Structure 1
Amino acid sequence: MLNEMMHRPVVMPEIVEFMRKAQQGFPGVLGEIEAYANERGIPVVPHETAKFIDFFCASVQPTDILEIGTAIGFSASLMAQHLQTDGHLTTIDRYALMYDRAKENFKKMGLEERVTLIEGDAANVLPTLEANAYDLVFMDSAKAKYIEFYPECMRVLRKGGVLIIDDVFQAGTILEDEANIPKRVRKIHRKLNELMDTVLNDPIHRSCLVPLGDGILMVRKEAE
Protein backbone atom coordinates (compact mmCIF):
# COMPACT_ATOMS: atom_id res chain seq x y z
CA MET A 1 0.00 0.00 0.00
CA LEU A 2 3.01 2.32 0.07
CA ASN A 3 2.51 5.38 -2.12
CA GLU A 4 6.03 5.66 -3.54
CA MET A 5 5.08 8.27 -6.14
CA MET A 6 4.21 10.73 -3.35
CA HIS A 7 7.94 10.88 -2.66
CA ARG A 8 8.90 11.36 -6.31
CA PRO A 9 7.19 14.67 -7.20
CA VAL A 10 7.47 16.26 -10.62
CA VAL A 11 8.72 19.69 -9.47
CA MET A 12 11.87 20.62 -7.59
CA PRO A 13 12.00 19.18 -4.06
CA GLU A 14 12.42 22.58 -2.39
CA ILE A 15 9.14 23.81 -3.87
CA VAL A 16 7.34 20.62 -2.88
CA GLU A 17 8.66 20.94 0.66
CA PHE A 18 7.47 24.55 0.79
CA MET A 19 3.99 23.68 -0.54
CA ARG A 20 3.60 20.87 1.97
CA LYS A 21 4.78 22.83 5.00
CA ALA A 22 3.73 26.42 4.27
CA GLN A 23 0.09 25.62 3.56
CA GLN A 24 -2.03 25.09 6.64
CA GLY A 25 -3.06 21.61 7.65
CA PHE A 26 -6.69 20.56 7.74
CA PRO A 27 -8.47 20.96 11.08
CA GLY A 28 -10.21 18.31 13.15
CA VAL A 29 -10.97 14.80 11.96
CA LEU A 30 -9.96 15.52 8.36
CA GLY A 31 -6.45 16.44 9.47
CA GLU A 32 -6.32 13.31 11.60
CA ILE A 33 -7.27 11.13 8.61
CA GLU A 34 -4.56 12.75 6.48
CA ALA A 35 -1.95 12.27 9.20
CA TYR A 36 -2.99 8.64 9.74
CA ALA A 37 -2.59 7.90 6.03
CA ASN A 38 0.76 9.67 5.72
CA GLU A 39 2.22 7.96 8.78
CA ARG A 40 1.31 4.53 7.35
CA GLY A 41 2.06 5.14 3.69
CA ILE A 42 -1.58 4.73 2.69
CA PRO A 43 -2.05 6.18 -0.82
CA VAL A 44 -3.96 9.42 -0.38
CA VAL A 45 -3.37 12.63 -2.31
CA PRO A 46 -0.33 14.61 -1.04
CA HIS A 47 -0.99 17.77 0.91
CA GLU A 48 -0.38 20.22 -1.96
CA THR A 49 -2.87 18.33 -4.14
CA ALA A 50 -5.37 18.16 -1.28
CA LYS A 51 -5.15 21.94 -0.81
CA PHE A 52 -5.79 22.48 -4.51
CA ILE A 53 -8.83 20.16 -4.50
CA ASP A 54 -10.08 21.86 -1.33
CA PHE A 55 -9.80 25.28 -2.98
CA PHE A 56 -11.40 24.08 -6.21
CA CYS A 57 -14.37 22.43 -4.48
CA ALA A 58 -14.90 25.43 -2.21
CA SER A 59 -15.02 27.60 -5.34
CA VAL A 60 -17.41 25.51 -7.46
CA GLN A 61 -19.49 24.02 -4.60
CA PRO A 62 -20.61 20.91 -6.50
CA THR A 63 -23.97 19.24 -6.03
CA ASP A 64 -23.07 15.69 -7.05
CA ILE A 65 -19.58 14.19 -6.87
CA LEU A 66 -18.33 10.81 -8.05
CA GLU A 67 -15.02 9.45 -6.81
CA ILE A 68 -13.22 6.41 -8.23
CA GLY A 69 -10.76 5.11 -5.65
CA THR A 70 -11.83 5.71 -2.04
CA ALA A 71 -8.80 4.47 -0.06
CA ILE A 72 -9.62 5.42 3.55
CA GLY A 73 -11.96 8.26 2.57
CA PHE A 74 -9.64 11.26 2.89
CA SER A 75 -10.26 12.89 -0.48
CA ALA A 76 -13.98 12.04 -0.38
CA SER A 77 -14.28 13.67 3.05
CA LEU A 78 -12.33 16.67 1.78
CA MET A 79 -14.63 17.17 -1.21
CA ALA A 80 -17.88 16.35 0.60
CA GLN A 81 -17.36 19.29 2.96
CA HIS A 82 -18.05 21.61 0.03
CA LEU A 83 -21.20 19.97 -1.30
CA GLN A 84 -24.24 22.18 -1.66
CA THR A 85 -26.96 21.69 0.94
CA ASP A 86 -28.74 19.01 -1.08
CA GLY A 87 -25.52 17.57 -2.50
CA HIS A 88 -24.23 14.01 -2.38
CA LEU A 89 -20.97 12.16 -3.02
CA THR A 90 -20.65 8.62 -4.37
CA THR A 91 -17.33 6.81 -4.08
CA ILE A 92 -16.18 3.43 -5.44
CA ASP A 93 -13.48 1.10 -4.13
CA ARG A 94 -12.87 -2.61 -4.64
CA TYR A 95 -10.79 -3.29 -1.54
CA ALA A 96 -12.78 -4.47 1.47
CA LEU A 97 -10.19 -3.20 3.97
CA MET A 98 -10.28 0.30 2.46
CA TYR A 99 -14.09 0.15 2.36
CA ASP A 100 -14.32 -0.54 6.09
CA ARG A 101 -11.82 2.17 7.06
CA ALA A 102 -13.49 4.72 4.80
CA LYS A 103 -16.92 3.93 6.22
CA GLU A 104 -15.58 4.50 9.73
CA ASN A 105 -13.98 7.79 8.72
CA PHE A 106 -17.16 9.06 7.07
CA LYS A 107 -18.95 8.34 10.33
CA LYS A 108 -16.33 10.32 12.28
CA MET A 109 -16.76 13.19 9.84
CA GLY A 110 -20.55 13.13 10.20
CA LEU A 111 -20.92 12.40 6.48
CA GLU A 112 -22.86 9.13 6.59
CA GLU A 113 -25.96 10.71 5.07
CA ARG A 114 -24.05 12.59 2.38
CA VAL A 115 -21.76 9.83 1.10
CA THR A 116 -22.62 6.57 -0.65
CA LEU A 117 -19.79 4.05 -0.60
CA ILE A 118 -19.90 1.34 -3.27
CA GLU A 119 -17.69 -1.71 -2.81
CA GLY A 120 -16.79 -3.09 -6.23
CA ASP A 121 -14.66 -2.80 -9.33
CA ALA A 122 -15.19 0.51 -11.11
CA ALA A 123 -15.11 -1.33 -14.44
CA ASN A 124 -18.36 -3.03 -13.39
CA VAL A 125 -19.91 -0.17 -11.41
CA LEU A 126 -19.40 2.77 -13.79
CA PRO A 127 -21.63 1.42 -16.61
CA THR A 128 -24.51 1.10 -14.12
CA LEU A 129 -24.43 4.78 -13.15
CA GLU A 130 -26.83 7.31 -14.62
CA ALA A 131 -25.61 9.53 -17.46
CA ASN A 132 -25.13 13.26 -16.79
CA ALA A 133 -25.50 12.70 -13.05
CA TYR A 134 -22.37 14.40 -11.64
CA ASP A 135 -20.82 17.83 -11.85
CA LEU A 136 -17.47 16.66 -10.48
CA VAL A 137 -15.68 13.34 -10.98
CA PHE A 138 -12.41 12.57 -9.19
CA MET A 139 -10.45 9.57 -10.45
CA ASP A 140 -7.60 8.24 -8.31
CA SER A 141 -7.48 4.50 -8.88
CA ALA A 142 -5.61 1.96 -11.03
CA LYS A 143 -3.56 4.08 -13.44
CA ALA A 144 -3.61 1.49 -16.22
CA LYS A 145 -7.43 1.60 -16.11
CA TYR A 146 -7.78 5.36 -16.54
CA ILE A 147 -8.12 5.19 -20.32
CA GLU A 148 -10.77 2.47 -19.92
CA PHE A 149 -12.70 4.48 -17.34
CA TYR A 150 -12.37 7.82 -19.17
CA PRO A 151 -15.35 7.42 -21.57
CA GLU A 152 -17.59 6.32 -18.69
CA CYS A 153 -16.46 9.29 -16.58
CA MET A 154 -17.35 11.66 -19.39
CA ARG A 155 -20.69 9.91 -19.89
CA VAL A 156 -21.77 10.38 -16.27
CA LEU A 157 -20.43 13.95 -16.13
CA ARG A 158 -22.83 16.80 -16.77
CA LYS A 159 -22.06 19.40 -19.43
CA GLY A 160 -19.87 22.01 -17.75
CA GLY A 161 -18.73 19.46 -15.17
CA VAL A 162 -15.10 18.70 -14.41
CA LEU A 163 -13.15 15.45 -14.32
CA ILE A 164 -9.99 15.49 -12.16
CA ILE A 165 -7.53 12.63 -12.80
CA ASP A 166 -4.74 12.18 -10.25
CA ASP A 167 -1.23 10.72 -10.63
CA VAL A 168 -0.81 11.02 -14.39
CA PHE A 169 2.96 11.70 -14.61
CA GLN A 170 4.41 8.67 -12.81
CA ALA A 171 7.16 10.93 -11.43
CA GLY A 172 7.85 12.13 -14.96
CA THR A 173 8.60 8.65 -16.30
CA ILE A 174 5.73 8.77 -18.82
CA LEU A 175 8.02 10.99 -20.93
CA GLU A 176 10.62 8.24 -21.22
CA ASP A 177 10.90 5.64 -23.97
CA GLU A 178 8.97 2.51 -23.05
CA ALA A 179 12.13 0.43 -23.55
CA ASN A 180 13.62 2.20 -20.51
CA ILE A 181 10.62 1.49 -18.29
CA PRO A 182 10.69 -1.55 -15.95
CA LYS A 183 8.53 -4.34 -17.38
CA ARG A 184 6.30 -4.41 -14.30
CA VAL A 185 5.04 -0.87 -15.00
CA ARG A 186 5.15 -0.75 -18.80
CA LYS A 187 1.40 -1.24 -19.07
CA ILE A 188 0.82 1.78 -16.81
CA HIS A 189 3.32 3.79 -18.89
CA ARG A 190 1.60 2.84 -22.14
CA LYS A 191 -1.94 3.41 -20.89
CA LEU A 192 -1.17 6.79 -19.32
CA ASN A 193 0.40 7.95 -22.58
CA GLU A 194 -2.69 6.75 -24.41
CA LEU A 195 -4.82 8.77 -21.96
CA MET A 196 -2.71 11.88 -22.54
CA ASP A 197 -2.97 11.54 -26.31
CA THR A 198 -6.73 11.07 -26.10
CA VAL A 199 -7.47 13.95 -23.74
CA LEU A 200 -4.95 16.57 -24.84
CA ASN A 201 -5.80 16.14 -28.53
CA ASP A 202 -9.56 16.21 -28.00
CA PRO A 203 -10.96 19.13 -30.07
CA ILE A 204 -14.17 19.34 -28.03
CA HIS A 205 -13.47 19.20 -24.30
CA ARG A 206 -11.27 21.69 -22.44
CA SER A 207 -8.31 20.22 -20.54
CA CYS A 208 -5.24 21.26 -18.57
CA LEU A 209 -2.32 19.71 -16.71
CA VAL A 210 -1.41 20.77 -13.18
CA PRO A 211 2.07 19.80 -11.83
CA LEU A 212 0.99 19.07 -8.25
CA GLY A 213 1.87 15.81 -6.50
CA ASP A 214 2.40 13.27 -9.27
CA GLY A 215 0.46 15.36 -11.75
CA ILE A 216 -3.22 16.21 -12.27
CA LEU A 217 -5.12 16.12 -15.54
CA MET A 218 -8.35 18.14 -15.57
CA VAL A 219 -11.09 17.93 -18.20
CA ARG A 220 -14.15 20.15 -18.52
CA LYS A 221 -17.04 18.59 -20.43
CA GLU A 222 -17.99 21.12 -23.09
CA ALA A 223 -20.58 19.10 -25.03
CA GLU A 224 -22.44 15.80 -25.03
Structure 2
Amino acid sequence: MIVNNRMTTYIHSLESPESPLLEQIEQEALAGYVPIIRKETQSFLKVLVMMKQPSRILEIGTAVGFSALLLSEYMPKGGQITTIEKYEKRIPVARENFRRAGKEDQITLIEGDALEVMRTLEGPYDFIFMDAAKGQYIHYLPETVRLLADGGVLVSDNVLQDGDVIESRFAVERRNRTIHSRMREYLYELKHHGQLTTSIIPLGDGVAISVKKERMV
Protein backbone atom coordinates (compact mmCIF):
# COMPACT_ATOMS: atom_id res chain seq x y z
CA MET A 1 0.00 0.00 0.00
CA ILE A 2 1.37 3.40 -0.99
CA VAL A 3 -1.44 5.73 0.08
CA ASN A 4 -3.74 5.32 3.07
CA ASN A 5 -6.80 3.31 2.01
CA ARG A 6 -9.18 5.73 3.70
CA MET A 7 -7.72 8.61 1.71
CA THR A 8 -8.03 6.65 -1.53
CA THR A 9 -11.64 5.79 -0.75
CA TYR A 10 -12.40 9.45 -0.06
CA ILE A 11 -10.79 10.56 -3.33
CA HIS A 12 -12.79 7.93 -5.22
CA SER A 13 -15.99 9.22 -3.64
CA LEU A 14 -15.40 12.61 -5.28
CA GLU A 15 -15.14 11.24 -8.81
CA SER A 16 -17.76 11.95 -11.44
CA PRO A 17 -18.75 9.01 -13.67
CA GLU A 18 -17.48 8.67 -17.20
CA SER A 19 -19.77 7.85 -20.12
CA PRO A 20 -22.11 4.88 -19.52
CA LEU A 21 -20.13 2.78 -22.00
CA LEU A 22 -16.78 3.50 -20.35
CA GLU A 23 -18.26 2.72 -16.95
CA GLN A 24 -19.60 -0.55 -18.34
CA ILE A 25 -16.27 -1.52 -19.90
CA GLU A 26 -14.53 -0.77 -16.62
CA GLN A 27 -16.93 -3.01 -14.71
CA GLU A 28 -16.55 -5.78 -17.28
CA ALA A 29 -12.77 -5.59 -16.95
CA LEU A 30 -12.88 -5.69 -13.16
CA ALA A 31 -15.30 -8.63 -13.22
CA GLY A 32 -12.89 -10.47 -15.51
CA TYR A 33 -9.87 -9.65 -13.30
CA VAL A 34 -8.30 -7.58 -16.08
CA PRO A 35 -5.95 -4.97 -14.57
CA ILE A 36 -6.95 -1.46 -15.62
CA ILE A 37 -5.86 1.95 -14.41
CA ARG A 38 -7.14 2.96 -11.00
CA LYS A 39 -9.67 5.74 -10.51
CA GLU A 40 -7.15 8.24 -9.18
CA THR A 41 -4.80 7.46 -12.08
CA GLN A 42 -7.66 7.97 -14.50
CA SER A 43 -8.22 11.48 -13.16
CA PHE A 44 -4.52 12.26 -13.35
CA LEU A 45 -4.33 11.13 -16.98
CA LYS A 46 -7.38 13.14 -17.96
CA VAL A 47 -5.90 16.33 -16.52
CA LEU A 48 -2.53 15.74 -18.18
CA VAL A 49 -4.11 15.11 -21.58
CA MET A 50 -6.29 18.19 -21.29
CA MET A 51 -3.22 20.25 -20.35
CA LYS A 52 -0.93 18.83 -23.03
CA GLN A 53 -3.56 18.59 -25.81
CA PRO A 54 -1.67 15.83 -27.67
CA SER A 55 -2.58 15.13 -31.27
CA ARG A 56 -0.71 11.80 -31.33
CA ILE A 57 -0.72 9.35 -28.41
CA LEU A 58 1.14 6.04 -28.14
CA GLU A 59 -0.06 3.53 -25.56
CA ILE A 60 2.10 0.54 -24.67
CA GLY A 61 -0.25 -2.10 -23.29
CA THR A 62 -3.86 -2.05 -24.51
CA ALA A 63 -5.45 -4.74 -22.32
CA VAL A 64 -9.18 -4.43 -23.15
CA GLY A 65 -8.88 -0.86 -24.44
CA PHE A 66 -10.24 1.01 -21.43
CA SER A 67 -7.39 3.48 -21.02
CA ALA A 68 -7.15 4.16 -24.76
CA LEU A 69 -10.86 4.98 -24.81
CA LEU A 70 -10.47 7.21 -21.75
CA LEU A 71 -7.59 9.10 -23.37
CA SER A 72 -9.58 9.49 -26.59
CA GLU A 73 -12.35 11.29 -24.70
CA TYR A 74 -10.04 14.05 -23.49
CA MET A 75 -7.58 14.58 -26.36
CA PRO A 76 -8.23 17.16 -29.08
CA LYS A 77 -10.73 16.45 -31.81
CA GLY A 78 -9.01 14.70 -34.70
CA GLY A 79 -6.27 13.26 -32.49
CA GLN A 80 -5.01 9.74 -33.08
CA ILE A 81 -4.04 6.94 -30.69
CA THR A 82 -1.79 3.99 -31.48
CA THR A 83 -1.92 1.20 -28.92
CA ILE A 84 0.09 -2.03 -28.73
CA GLU A 85 -0.99 -5.37 -27.25
CA LYS A 86 0.58 -8.82 -27.30
CA TYR A 87 -1.87 -10.92 -25.25
CA GLU A 88 -4.01 -12.65 -27.88
CA LYS A 89 -7.06 -13.21 -25.67
CA ARG A 90 -7.47 -9.50 -24.95
CA ILE A 91 -6.98 -8.20 -28.49
CA PRO A 92 -10.46 -9.12 -29.83
CA VAL A 93 -12.06 -7.72 -26.66
CA ALA A 94 -10.25 -4.41 -27.14
CA ARG A 95 -11.20 -4.24 -30.82
CA GLU A 96 -14.83 -4.88 -29.92
CA ASN A 97 -14.73 -2.17 -27.26
CA PHE A 98 -13.33 0.30 -29.79
CA ARG A 99 -16.16 -0.67 -32.15
CA ARG A 100 -18.76 -0.24 -29.41
CA ALA A 101 -17.44 3.25 -28.74
CA GLY A 102 -17.29 4.18 -32.43
CA LYS A 103 -13.56 4.88 -32.08
CA GLU A 104 -12.17 2.48 -34.71
CA ASP A 105 -11.01 5.37 -36.90
CA GLN A 106 -9.33 7.16 -34.01
CA ILE A 107 -7.63 4.24 -32.25
CA THR A 108 -5.24 1.91 -34.08
CA LEU A 109 -4.43 -1.35 -32.30
CA ILE A 110 -1.22 -3.07 -33.36
CA GLU A 111 -0.74 -6.69 -32.35
CA GLY A 112 2.67 -7.99 -31.32
CA ASP A 113 5.63 -7.65 -29.01
CA ALA A 114 5.80 -4.03 -27.88
CA LEU A 115 9.53 -3.56 -28.43
CA GLU A 116 9.42 -5.07 -31.91
CA VAL A 117 6.42 -2.93 -32.84
CA MET A 118 7.97 0.24 -31.43
CA ARG A 119 11.04 -0.25 -33.61
CA THR A 120 8.80 -0.06 -36.68
CA LEU A 121 6.99 3.12 -35.64
CA GLU A 122 7.77 6.64 -36.70
CA GLY A 123 7.41 9.45 -34.22
CA PRO A 124 7.04 11.86 -32.87
CA TYR A 125 4.27 11.19 -30.36
CA ASP A 126 3.20 14.02 -28.08
CA PHE A 127 2.13 11.70 -25.27
CA ILE A 128 3.17 8.12 -24.43
CA PHE A 129 1.39 6.01 -21.82
CA MET A 130 3.42 3.05 -20.56
CA ASP A 131 1.23 0.36 -18.97
CA ALA A 132 2.61 -3.00 -20.07
CA ALA A 133 4.78 -5.71 -18.53
CA LYS A 134 6.57 -3.93 -15.70
CA GLY A 135 9.79 -5.88 -16.09
CA GLN A 136 10.08 -4.67 -19.69
CA TYR A 137 9.85 -0.92 -19.07
CA ILE A 138 13.64 -0.59 -18.91
CA HIS A 139 13.96 -2.34 -22.28
CA TYR A 140 11.31 -0.11 -23.87
CA LEU A 141 12.92 3.12 -22.70
CA PRO A 142 15.36 3.79 -25.59
CA GLU A 143 12.61 3.40 -28.19
CA THR A 144 10.21 5.38 -26.05
CA VAL A 145 12.60 8.33 -25.90
CA ARG A 146 13.22 8.07 -29.65
CA LEU A 147 9.50 8.19 -30.41
CA LEU A 148 8.65 10.97 -27.93
CA ALA A 149 8.46 14.51 -29.28
CA ASP A 150 10.58 17.26 -27.78
CA GLY A 151 8.42 18.60 -24.96
CA GLY A 152 6.37 15.42 -25.08
CA VAL A 153 5.08 13.65 -22.00
CA LEU A 154 5.74 10.05 -20.93
CA VAL A 155 3.53 8.58 -18.22
CA SER A 156 4.65 5.26 -16.71
CA ASP A 157 2.09 3.47 -14.54
CA ASN A 158 2.48 0.99 -11.68
CA VAL A 159 6.09 1.92 -10.96
CA LEU A 160 6.03 1.55 -7.15
CA GLN A 161 4.67 -2.01 -7.04
CA ASP A 162 2.44 -1.49 -4.01
CA GLY A 163 5.45 -0.11 -2.16
CA ASP A 164 7.67 -3.14 -2.77
CA VAL A 165 10.08 -1.10 -4.90
CA ILE A 166 11.60 0.48 -1.77
CA GLU A 167 12.33 -2.90 -0.18
CA SER A 168 15.51 -4.91 -0.44
CA ARG A 169 15.30 -7.46 -3.26
CA PHE A 170 15.55 -10.16 -0.59
CA ALA A 171 12.43 -8.83 1.12
CA VAL A 172 10.23 -9.43 -1.94
CA GLU A 173 9.03 -12.82 -3.13
CA ARG A 174 11.62 -14.67 -5.19
CA ARG A 175 9.36 -14.74 -8.26
CA ASN A 176 9.12 -10.92 -8.16
CA ARG A 177 12.82 -10.15 -7.75
CA THR A 178 13.61 -9.69 -11.44
CA ILE A 179 10.73 -7.25 -11.90
CA HIS A 180 11.74 -5.50 -8.67
CA SER A 181 15.34 -4.95 -9.78
CA ARG A 182 14.32 -3.89 -13.31
CA MET A 183 11.81 -1.37 -12.01
CA ARG A 184 14.37 0.16 -9.68
CA GLU A 185 16.73 0.41 -12.66
CA TYR A 186 13.98 1.98 -14.75
CA LEU A 187 13.18 4.63 -12.15
CA TYR A 188 16.87 5.46 -11.76
CA GLU A 189 17.21 5.84 -15.54
CA LEU A 190 14.14 8.08 -15.72
CA LYS A 191 15.53 10.37 -13.04
CA HIS A 192 19.04 10.50 -14.52
CA HIS A 193 18.31 10.38 -18.25
CA GLY A 194 19.92 13.26 -20.11
CA GLN A 195 16.84 13.86 -22.25
CA LEU A 196 14.14 13.55 -19.59
CA THR A 197 12.94 15.45 -16.55
CA THR A 198 10.91 13.12 -14.31
CA SER A 199 8.71 13.26 -11.24
CA ILE A 200 7.70 10.06 -9.42
CA ILE A 201 4.34 10.36 -7.69
CA PRO A 202 2.84 7.96 -5.09
CA LEU A 203 -0.51 7.93 -6.88
CA GLY A 204 -2.43 4.71 -7.46
CA ASP A 205 0.32 2.12 -7.72
CA GLY A 206 2.90 4.78 -8.49
CA VAL A 207 3.12 7.02 -11.54
CA ALA A 208 6.21 8.51 -13.14
CA ILE A 209 5.68 11.53 -15.37
CA SER A 210 8.54 12.51 -17.64
CA VAL A 211 8.97 15.40 -20.10
CA LYS A 212 11.46 15.18 -22.96
CA LYS A 213 13.72 18.19 -22.94
CA GLU A 214 13.67 20.56 -25.90
CA ARG A 215 16.74 20.35 -28.11
CA MET A 216 19.13 23.25 -27.85
CA VAL A 217 19.38 25.08 -31.18
TM-score grouping bracket, smaller chain normalisation: over 0.9
Structure 1 position 223, deviation (Å): 3.7
Q: How does 1:60-209 map to 2 (within 5 A)?
A: 60-130=52-122, 132-209=123-200
Structure 2 Cα separation of the partners of residues 213 and 37 of structure 1: 17
Number of matched pairs:
215
Name the counterpart of 1:6.
none
Name the counterpart of 2:201.
210
Q: Which amino acid aligns with 2:54?
A: P
Give the structure-1-normalised TM-score: 0.92
Question: Is 1:29 matched with 2:21?
Answer: yes
Structure 1 position 168, deviation (Å): 0.3
Structure 2 Cα separation of the partners of residues 171 and 158 of structure 1: 31
5+ residue gaps, structure 2, are: none
Give the root-mean-square deviation of aligned CA atoms: 1.3
**Residues 173-218 of structure 1, C-alpha deviations (whole Å, 9 max, x = no match):** 1111111111101000000000111111235421111221100011
Identity %: 36
Structure 2 Cα separation of the partners of residues 189 and 16 of structure 1: 24
Would you say the 8 A contact 1:146–1:195 is kept in 2? yes
Q: Which amino acid aligns with 1:169?
A: L
Structure 2 Cα separation of the partners of residues 14 and 40 of structure 1: 25
**Residues 8-31 of structure 1, C-alpha deviations (whole Å, 9 max, x = no match):** x41011011112222122122111
5+ residue gaps, structure 1, are: 1-8
When residues 154 and 203 of structure 1 are mapped into structure 2, their CA distance, relative to the original with a 3 A threshold, is: closer
**Residues 68-96 of structure 1, C-alpha deviations (whole Å, 9 max, x = no match):** 00000000000012232331100000011
Structure 1 Cα separation of the partners of residues 143 and 33 of structure 2: 30
Q: Which amino acid aligns with 2:128?
A: V
Q: Which moved more, 1:35-44 or 1:148-157?
A: 35-44
Q: Which residue of the other structure, out of 48, 51, 55, is the alignment partner of 2:47?
A: 55
Q: How does 1:10-21 map to 2 (within 5 A)?
A: 10-21=2-13
Find the residue that maps to 1:116 and give its secondary structure: strand
Q: How does 1:4-15 map to 2 (within 5 A)?
A: 9-15=1-7
Structure 1 position 61, deviation (Å): 1.9
Which contiguous aligned blocks of 4+ residues in structure 1 show a shift greater than 4 angstroms?
Answer: none
Find the residue that maps to 1:97 and give its secondary structure: coil
Would you say the 8 A contact 1:205–1:223 is kept in 2? no
Find the residue that maps to 1:187 and give its secondary structure: helix
